[in-house]
Structure 1
Amino acid sequence: MKKSKPSFLGKKYLYTLILLFVFTITFIPSHSFAQDPTGAKTGTLADIDTSAVKTLDTISKAKDSSTAKLAEHISQLASTVHSIGDADGHNKIAINIMWTLIAGFLVMFMQAGFAMVETGFTQKKNVAHTMLMNFLIYAIGMLGFWIVGFAIMFGGSLNPATLGGAPGVSSHEVIIHLFGKDFGIAGTAAYFLNSKVYDVGVFTLFLFQMVFMDTTATIPTGSMAERWTLKSFIVYGFFISMFVYPLYGNWVWGGGWLSALGTNFGLGHGHVDFAGSSVVHMVGGVAALAGAIVIGPRYGKYGKDGSVKTIPGHNIPMAIIGTFILAFGWFGFNPGSTLAGGDLRISIVAVNTMLASAAGAIAALFYMYIKGGKADPGMVANGMLAGLVAITAPCAFVTATSAVIIGAISGILVILVYNFVDTKLKIDDPVGAFAVHGANGAWGVLALGLFADGSYGDGWNGISGTVKGLFYGDYKQFIAQCIGTITCFVFVFVVMYVFFKLLNKVIPLRTKEADEIAGLDIPETGVLGYVD
């Protein structure tokens, strides 16, 4: 069939419409809007307070120079400045609160990473059980911290300046007087987040610190996996979130005695831990070690002749993905600990965190090659996690080069400690929880005492001047770090070891042998993680 060509008349109408459109957009006036494509002019005084703009405009145009009018203008100006200051302060705190909450949301997501790492490194028959422990600790820990943990940890100093403060709830600390000095032991305000602390800043701090606490509480789920009864686990969850973590946390972050080693004894800035190498990771790692000792090794792990049997994890890809999630969440963990979106040190913290994690992974890889082994994905992942744990305390105080050194050492340390605990001490820790979190948590706070370069931390713990480590001229800071590390290990290990021993007499820690051999999914949860 022959196609018909468009008529000349049709083309004429088309051309006419095009010309009319061009003429319209070119010559007919249209409304004009203020534009700022670069953003340089966006955000002015008018965006803070319109009444302030009117007042300033009135004063600038005033022609009456009499004394009375001048006094009136000055009064108006003072009121305007105060109004602008209030608005600016409100915006500053709003930025800090939003930053801290978003960082807290990232840390909360780390719980998924822990669940995947620990489940991937354990056996297929215990998937539902291991996942459930990691899930439950979030809910259990949150309620325990809400009931009393937050009050013990921060009830003596609930006045975070970066979050706007909380009038009337500071200075509620239990004090012991020794050697002519005050030793803060525990806070006493904010139980159940009661009406006396009904404050946006306090609630922001609660959320951020609660997710940190949950990180601590979930660590022993890895070291005691595949043989821990859920009933005893629930009791443990409340105990560590209500008492153990908050007490040590108070001593370091809540105005307690370790933070006062500088003001009381001249030991640097006291025990310094920026984001929790000791407060979070070492507490969890040492608790994991105590629990693994008390509960004993999995059946078949160690032979009567002293041989060590490797019990491989069932899903390495799951563990690797979990490691990536944890590394991602660490951007909330470390940079978020500024509690201030306006503290531009955030960028230093974030980059140091990345570098240390990379150095930890590569150092672990190279160490395995040097020792004649193969590239074990689990150990490479643990090397990255070890680097993250170690840099958590010093991340804001060290250079990029120091961050790489700290991370590289941690990548080797995690393998050495894991092998020592597993083969020499015969302590069964399925995921290497103590090696990753306990040993490298200790290394992290000690590294701060060595590598802090004096570029940050003026006023930290009430001490003027920046934080400097041994390599930069302040050996006393290293002493403070050693005291805090030793205190953490002794306090947490003794308390948790005794707790697990006593709990075992009331509610058995360990499942029945037959259940452990068959798998804990059905006996403990009633469902299979995988339905074959």
Structure 2
Amino acid sequence: MENINSAVETLIQSSNTLFILLGAIMVLAMHAGFAFLEVGTVRQKNQVNALVKIIADFGFSAIAYFFFGYWVAYDTTFFASAEQLSANNGYELVKFFFLMTFAAAIPAIVSGGIAERARFYPMLVASFFIVGLVYPFFEGVIWNSNYGFQDWLTATFGAPFHDFAGSVVVHAVGGWIALVAVIMLGLRHGRYRGGRLVAFAPSNIPFLALGAWILTIGWFGFNVMSAQTIDGISGLVAVNSLMAMVGGIVASLFVGKNDPGFIHNGPLAGLVAVCAGSDLMHPIGALITGAIAGALFVWLFTYIQNKLHLDDVLGVWPLHGVCGAWGGIAAGIFGSSAFGGLGGVSLASQVVGTIAGIIVALVGAFIVYGVIKQTVGLRLTAEEEYNGADLSIHQIGSTSED
């Protein structure tokens, strides 16, 4: 009997390790989606830079999260023997891998907002500190109950802040960090003439669409495998993710008036918004959440470009920052039993937790980007921007004709 119990325990541990490893690989693949979404959106003279930024940011993020970020969030380090680290089939290591791909999404989100005019190495340094300190601080507060914030919310409002897969912890934080960087960098040259918007058309719609599809597919690893163990897997999370994605598609199709850029970002808006409550909502609630996010993205992206003169190239603040915040609040609405959800969530806690995430993102970004701007600078010169980041930074174009 003891041998049977041991074998069963080993099988469970192995299954959990494989489960979360597959999730990590799916989220890792999403970074290709970030890359191609940006490549298809920026002008041709900045395509190489978009590709290099995403993979270089990932490398810096992995180092920052391994040595500092995971420690800040979960009070766990990897300064132990390989024998100790490989306990339980190395589950803790693979958990780190999974959560590191989440952390690395923050610079990938920022990259889309600052495209075409940001300096390369200063932004890599910024990514290092954001992934090593700013992001994991809030991650630990929410997902590891650090500093008593969740306990306070529970005592005050009856439930902790609920964010199953990171609408706020990952997406809203990344989007609001990006907003600070976009504002500090300023407008791309030639973006407005006589106070009127000059359209910089996407360079490659098929690449843009490919990026959106890669992200959409990987998102089911992002959401479903946030359970982190195989016994926690839920078909409800999968179907809610699907319905939110569909809601985003349909809403962006009509509100965006058939624009392919809006239509391919619509499902992403829906998926951003459903992350927080995907394990609680009824599928109809997820559909509504995604549809509101899709419409919100189209309207707000248009508004900030035309009215606020905010040069957010891929619209990462509306897509991740605002739709992520909406997702945090939507979990408190459609996750409640009154709207067909599983319950156990407080709307007040969701609002307060969402605001807390925004504040951490804004303060952290202001410090990191502010220091770098005042010391070495964030922006390419006018000549470098005119020539394009590909030639100015990497000395090669995306095609042989460049």
TM range (shorter): over 0.9
Q: Is the 8 A contact 2:130 2:368 kept in 1?
A: no
The offset of 1:499, in angstroms, is 1.9
Question: One-letter code of the match for 1:427?
Answer: L
Residues 1:363 and 2:239 aligned together = no
Query: 1:468 maps to what in 2?
Result: 344
> Structure 1, residues 289-332: CA drift from partner, whole Å, max 9, x if none?
000000001001122x3211111110011000110000010111
Residues 1:145 and 2:62 aligned together = no
Query: 1:77 maps to what in 2?
Result: none
> Structure 1, residues 405-445: CA drift from partner, whole Å, max 9, x if none?
00110011101221232222211011011111000100111
Considering only CA atoms, is the larger Rg found in Structure 1 or Structure 2? Answer: 1
Mean alpha-carbon deviation: is it higher for 502-511 or for 427-436? 502-511
Q: Is the 8 A contact 1:231 1:507 kept in 2?
A: no
The offset of 1:454, in angstroms, is 4.8
Q: Which has the higher helix share?
A: 2
Cα distance change of structure 1 residues 420 and 261 upon mapping to structure 2, 3 Å threshold: farther
SS at 1:228 equivalent: coil
The offset of 1:137, in angstroms, is 1.0
CA distance in 1, matches of 2:399, 2:158: 54
Query: 2:284 maps to what in 1?
Result: 401
Query: 2:301 maps to what in 1?
Result: 418
Question: One-letter code of the match for 1:511?
Answer: L
RMSD over equivalenced CA pairs, Å: 1.6
Identity of paired residues, percent?
A: 31
Cα distance change of structure 1 residues 193 and 211 upon mapping to structure 2, 3 Å threshold: farther
Q: Is the 8 A contact 1:258 1:271 kept in 2?
A: no
Q: 2:116 aligns with which of 223, 226, 232?
A: 226
Q: Is the 8 A contact 2:227 2:233 kept in 1?
A: no
Tell me the number of residue pairs that the alignment of Structure 1 and Structure 2 aligns: 393
Q: 1:281 aligns with which of 171, 186, 198?
A: 171
- Normalising by the residue count of structure 2, what TM-score does the alignment of the two structures yield? 0.94
CA distance in 2, matches of 1:440, 1:258: 23
Q: Is the 8 A contact 2:247 2:267 kept in 1?
A: yes
CA distance in 1, matches of 2:255, 2:397: 38
Question: One-letter code of the match for 1:253?
Answer: W
Query: 1:61 maps to what in 2?
Result: none
Query: 2:386 maps to what in 1?
Result: 517
Question: One-letter code of the match for 1:238?
Answer: F
> Structure 1, residues 230-270: CA drift from partner, whole Å, max 9, x if none?
1111111211110011001001102223332344x242331
Residues 1:105 and 2:25 aligned together = yes
CA distance in 2, matches of 1:261, 1:95: 35
Question: Higher RCO, 1 or 2 (CA under 8 Å, sep at least 6)?
Answer: 2
CA distance in 2, matches of 1:267, 1:527: 56
CA distance in 2, matches of 1:100, 1:420: 40
Mean alpha-carbon deviation: is it higher for 224-233 or for 195-204? 195-204
- What residue ranges of structure 1 are gaps of 5+ in the alignment? 1-79, 156-188, 369-373, 456-465, 470-476
Q: Is the 8 A contact 1:386 1:437 kept in 2?
A: yes
User: Where do 1:73-112 residues align within 5 Å?
Assistant: 80=1, 82-112=2-32
SS at 1:259 equivalent: helix
Residues 1:253 and 2:129 aligned together = no
CA distance in 2, matches of 1:228, 1:195: 40
The offset of 1:228, in angstroms, is 0.6
CA distance in 2, matches of 1:300, 1:117: 23
Q: Is the 8 A contact 1:215 1:280 kept in 2?
A: yes
Query: 1:51 maps to what in 2?
Result: none
Query: 1:442 maps to what in 2?
Result: 325
Which runs of 4 or more aligned residues in structure 1 lie more than 6 Å from their structure 2 counterparts after TM superposition?
none
User: Where do 1:308-387 residues align within 5 Å?
Assistant: 308-345=197-234, 347-368=235-256, 374-387=257-270
Q: Is the 8 A contact 2:163 2:328 kept in 1?
A: yes
Residues 1:479 and 2:348 aligned together = yes
The offset of 1:453, in angstroms, is 4.0
The offset of 1:201, in angstroms, is 2.5
Q: Is the 8 A contact 1:222 1:431 kept in 2?
A: yes
> Structure 1, residues 59-84: CA drift from partner, whole Å, max 9, x if none?
xxxxxxxxxxxxxxxxxxxxx2x332
Cα distance change of structure 1 residues 217 and 259 upon mapping to structure 2, 3 Å threshold: farther
CA distance in 1, matches of 2:39, 2:6: 50
- What residue ranges of structure 2 are gaps of 5+ in the alignment? none
The offset of 1:203, in angstroms, is 0.7
CA distance in 2, matches of 1:260, 1:422: 40
